């Protein structure tokens, strides 16, 4: 595909423009080795991020008591969901839920990347000032907090990244500004303002909020801009999840190899978090892992960018879509070109979900497993259906019935842990 001017002649683009639930499995997906090589990234990047999170773990445990039992590790459980598996009609394989809806610090997948980038910035400031401590708990001390107070982090966000950045910055004593679309949920803005974070609202979409944040940061040398579209630091923090999941699967005695494939379904907004997780999983499992991204019908940005080959040079607005969705964390019109270009060989496919179905799945997940996640998080639940019904994809990947019987399906619940009770109740009405 060269563009969308003739989308009505293209069956997939026509379905996307009509807001119909659709799936596309990329026939250009490469081998894992080729995909990793083409990404231009390295395992060292992930090693560095993991080591940094380990160095800061004593401070994290001190600043966020909910992590103390895990000694400052920011991680979530990987749980079986037998009732939801029955509800989904998944007869072959095993369904697991990756509970990033309760990930510590900010209650979403964004915590890993967002926390990591703020910590990396804080660490660099301490090094530059000659104040880097041997014991990182000293980041809570008066001298380091005075240093942090002279600097600011800025980010553009649909909500969850802003939470992770703002919460971590406030805990360190950094100033913070979060640029958000007016479509972002009010409670997220109120929570940040309650921490002393400056929240700037924009009547336009997510992309405009990011651009505003970038321009504001460029004018001030004491300000660090967290670029959700291109940040390697965010990406590396997200990628650490790959080795954490590998450890959890080993601890549960679950085999992952060619005969026992792993399918992972990830809700996708701009693409940084699912892209980073996909990279980390590819490092761990090679060709035995298959990652699929889920997007709302109003904002299929990553699917559109990869399918057309235009990546961040095209917006869903060219299909007449407005990004207005109950899945506010996924309300993105243009995808990350960084993720699209570097990761396209490692992402098996993409599918879209209607708002009504998201609302229904929130209720179903609560009824079956007692888990109340936000609408954007449950977009991942439809993944097994699309996998099992696309015979062309299964044939192309040489996935047999025996392999599907042995498969593990990980549904990534990407957010919802910090939702106020009154908002939670509204999801169940």
Residue 298 contacts residue 355 (beta carbons within 8 Å) = yes
Residue 327 contacts residue 415 (beta carbons within 8 Å) = no
The tens-digit pLDDT sequence of the chain (429 residues) is 444 556 668 999 999 999 999 999 999 999 999 999 999 999 999 999 999 999 999 999 999 999 999 999 999 999 999 999 999 999 999 999 999 999 999 999 999 999 999 999 999 999 999 999 999 999 999 999 999 999 999 998 877 899 999 999 999 999 999 988 777 788 889 999 999 999 998 877 667 777 777 887 787 889 999 988 889 999 999 999 999 999 999 999 999 999 999 999 999 999 999 999 999 999 999 999 999 999 999 999 999 999 999 999 999 999 999 999 999 889 999 999 999 999 999 999 999 999 999 999 999 999 999 999 999 999 999 999 999 999 999 999 999 999 999 999 999 999 988 888 888 888 898
The model carries a pTM of 0.95
Helix (H) or strand (E) holding 268: none
CA distance 284 to 262: 11
State the residue for tokens 């650490």.
240
State the residue for tokens 């879509």.
321
Contacts of 406 (CB under 8 A, 6+ apart): 93, 259, 260, 261
Structure confidence at residue 2 (pLDDT): 43
Domain 7-106+233-427 fold: Rossmann fold (3.40.50)
247: left (phi over 0), alpha (psi -120 to 50) or beta: alpha
Helix runs in 149-258, H state only: 160-172, 186-194, 206-218, 232-251
Structure confidence at residue 77 (pLDDT): 98
What is the dihedral sign for C-alpha 380, 386, 392, 394? positive
**Same fold across 7-106+233-427 and 110-228:** yes
Structure confidence at residue 4 (pLDDT): 55
CA distance 18 to 20: 6
Indicate the domain borders of the chain: 7-106+233-427, 110-228
CA distance 374 to 413: 9
What is residue 1's three-state secondary structure?
coil
Q: What angle do CA 36, 280, 224 make, to 5 degrees?
A: 100
In CATH terms, 110-228 corresponds, of 3.10.20.30, 1.10.760.10, 3.40.50.1100, 3.90.550.10, to: 3.40.50.1100
Nearest partner of 427 among 389, 375, 351, 383, judged by Cα:
375
CA distance 409 to 95: 5
Structure confidence at residue 421 (pLDDT): 84
C-alpha distances in Å from residue 209, one per residue of 177, 182, 228, 426: 11, 10, 11, 27
Nearest partner of 277 among 128, 105, 79, 76, judged by Cα:
76
């Amino acid at each position: 595909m060269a563009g969308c001017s003739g989308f009505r002649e293209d069956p997939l683009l026509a379905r996307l423009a009509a807001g119909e639930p659709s799936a596309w499995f990329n026939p250009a997906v490469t081998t894992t080795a080729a995909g990793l090589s083409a990404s231009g990234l390295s395992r060292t990047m992930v090693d560095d991020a993991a080591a940094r999170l380990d160095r800061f773990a004593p401070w994290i445990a001190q600043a966020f008591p909910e992590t103390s039992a895990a000694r400052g590790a920011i991680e979530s459980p990987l749980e079986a969901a037998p009732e939801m598996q029955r509800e989904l009609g998944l007869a072959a394989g095993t369904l697991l839920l990756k509970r990033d809806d309760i990930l510590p610090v900010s209650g979403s997948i964004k915590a890993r990347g967002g926390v990591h980038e703020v910590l990396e910035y804080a660490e660099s400031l301490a090094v530059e000032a000659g104040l880097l401590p041997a014991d990182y708990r000293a980041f809570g001390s008066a001298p380091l907090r005075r240093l942090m107070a002279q600097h600011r982090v800025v980010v553009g966000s649909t909500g969850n990244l802003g939470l992770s950045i703002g919460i971590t910055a406030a805990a360190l004593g950094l100033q913070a500004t979060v640029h958000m679309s007016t479509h972002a949920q009010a409670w997220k803005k109120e929570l940040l303002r309650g921490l002393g974070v400056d929240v700037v609202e924009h009547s336009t979409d997510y992309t405009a909020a990011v651009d505003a944040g970038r321009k504001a940061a460029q004018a001030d040398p004491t300000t660090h801009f967290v670029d959700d579209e291109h940040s390697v630091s965010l990406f590396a923090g997200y990628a650490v999840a790959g080795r954490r999941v590998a450890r959890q699967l080993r601890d549960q005695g679950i085999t992952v190899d060619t005969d026992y494939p792993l399918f992972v379904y990830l809700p996708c907004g701009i693409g940084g978090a699912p892209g980073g997780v996909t990279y980390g999983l590819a490092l761990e499992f090679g060709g035995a892992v298959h990652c699929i991204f889920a997007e709302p019908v109003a904002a299929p940005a990553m699917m559109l960018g990869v399918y057309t080959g235009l990546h961040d040079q095209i917006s869903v607005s060219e299909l007449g879509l407005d990004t207005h969705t109950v899945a506010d964390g996924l309300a993105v019109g243009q995808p990350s070109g960084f993720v699209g270009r570097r990761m396209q060989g490692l992402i098996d496919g993409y599918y879209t979900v209607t708002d009504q179905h998201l609302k229904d799945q929130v209720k179903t997940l609560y009824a079956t497993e007692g888990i109340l996640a936000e609408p954007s998080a449950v977009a991942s639940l439809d993944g097994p259906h699309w996998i099992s019904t696309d015979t062309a994809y299964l044939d192309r990947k040489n996935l047999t019935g025996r392999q599907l019987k042995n498969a593990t399906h990980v549904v990534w619940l990407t957010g919802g842990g910090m939702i106020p009770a009154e908002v939670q109740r509204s999801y169940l009405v």
